[in-house]
Structure 1
Amino acid sequence: MVGRQKINALFCVTKVKRMQSIPANGYAIHFGDTAYDLLNAHIAAQHYSSIFILADTQSNEYCVPRLLPLMAVDIPIEIVEFESGESAKTIDTCVQLWTLLTELGADRKSLILNVGGGVVTDLGGFVASTFKRGIDFIHIPTTLLAMVDASVGGKNGVDLGHLKNQIGVIRTPQMVLIDTQFLETLPQNEMRSGLAEMLKHGLIFDKDYWAQFLDLQAVDFADFDALVWRSIEIKNQIVMQDPTENGIRKALNFGHTLGHAIESYFLESPDKTTLLHGEAIAAGMVLEAFLSREKNLVTPQEYAQIKYVLTDIFGKLDFAETDLEPIIALLVHDKKNEYGHIQFALLDGIGKIKTNQSSDNELIRLAFADYKS
């Protein structure tokens, strides 16, 4: 498909540019080489006793070697590695990390640097937030998904079995450091996974930003850093208004109610291929855009455009009829649910959102039928 071929070609090299820092709730998001200067200045000013770099096997191999020469510190640094993948995002992994931190002498003046993708930032933030009732941590995301989504907003947590992000806290890092040079070693499917969240930010908040991706042939990816910066800015603007997700922050869950259920189902089903987060969310956005159309919140033309763009880039997942009921059953575990009612964040036209929207199961089944058509 043209869209997916184009994405593969475009995301090969990114050029780091000097980007303005983005102020967030009690911290800031810094970009490029300047971020390392600010990181070193922060470490010197806080007089930390020790630094622990939390990384999975992939980021420890490909990303930590880039980070270490840029750290101008004279205090001990320990690298703590754990297995890559969503299956590591558990309380059991946390127990192992808490134990190892204790054995290595971590104290309340230690600093944790979470270097990796969304699993690392989610898990590492939770480990730091709960160790000795909370120690400082900094996110250094190394995947596109983690840069534009997981590292921003203060959500930290782990999965409960196959249920996504059921255990966690909201606690902000000291800073987030965005270095898009890490993306040079990222597989193309991981780049597409992050692109899903960027597309979501346009759909829920900025119609003009969404429009930049309508013709991938015309996108100037030499300025890719600017697209990343704007995606982060959009998420941060929403989070700043509603840090604890009682109102507008629910907009960020567009595509995630069904997307998380799909992701969990594929994770627990032995005959299914485990999905990347963005792959599941892309399907969830198509399905929830259909719900928006059926509720007359988006026009048929807008829905057709959304479906075409997302399926052109991501293709379609293969759903059997027997998959639908187990996926629908998983919706009851979604974190947005209140008083037993399943809550959706649906589009109110492209660039706007309506939260706390309901849908009956029959309409959800119709969404899957249309997705497959």
Structure 2
Amino acid sequence: MKIAFYGSSLLSSYWNGAATYYRGMIRALSELGYEITFYESDAFERQDHRDLDAPDWCKVVVYQANADALSDVAAAARDADIVIKASGCGYADDDLFELLIKHRSSRSLLLFWDVDAPATLAELAASPEHPLHRQLAQTDLVLTYGGGDPVVRGYRSFGVMDCVPIYNALDPRDHHPVASQLEFTADLSFLGNRLPDREARVERFFLDVARQLPQRRFLLGGSGWEGKPMPSNVSAIGHIRTADHNAFNCSPLAVLNISRESMASTGFSPATRVFEAAGAAACLITDDWAGLDLFLEEGEEVLKARDGNDVAELLAGLTPDHAREIGARARRRVLAEHTYQVRAAEFDAVIRDRFDRRTAEAAE
């Protein structure tokens, strides 16, 4: 089946946290026989910061951020069996969705794939006139990056009956142990862009910990932290190319996951870095959120912290041997249960069920 997939970017992870999710899912779906074209706009300087060459498992179309180009790429939806509009494409999202609804064929499935469901649901609740309300009514299925039952209930409250979470995962070909690198050596490292609903949590779970443990070294990766006041034992090194994620995860004593406020409040929303770090056999310390035990076992495969004091205590008592044991157990778990091949099979089952239901309804 042919998929026309409209998202933020497959080729660049610059200010684009969904990049590795898209890459893992689409590559695994291509291996199941799906023929996929990914459409991304030339916006936010992402094309100037590409960290993936055009792959052989997906055709990528980069279009200019203007109305004519948007209309042209949306028209391609008429030839697809499955049309996917992701959230946060980056240029004229509402207009794009309207055009896709217009151009899709009657035989196709139209999906909305939400990679930031808690934020989307909050926006829908705050704005009864938001175009997405009307667009969802013409959508066959909503998929989400995570969120579990709370997100499913949220979408159903807006009249969406088919909502299925497809969680983050890893591709073991991309995320695996490598030799440590001196430039990424630290006691605790965190990778995440500076965002409004994350910054306060980074203060509590990371920067305050650095202040408590001045003898330890901390490494902060991600865009937007320039000019942020930090303790002297914190090194902010900017954007980390996806090719360097393994070394970033393998070099420190421990890696920290800090969820955005909306994701932490909703729960059931593990970030890509959770699985990428585990795939690299890193010792992961994560903030506390509902549903963690569905993915990794606390104390055995991951360490959990309620606040910065917990992070400091865990780090102070962590030995290299214990860190390696936790990382090894986490890697075994994610390779068994949380690969993109597993997620692609879930997608495939949902899609085939939806087509079967449509066929049965047409025969009645």
Q: Same fold (TM over 0.5)?
A: no
TM-score by length of 2: 0.31
TM-score (normalised: structure 1): 0.31
Say which structure is richer in helix.
1
Greater RCO (CA < 8 Å, at least 6 residues apart): 1
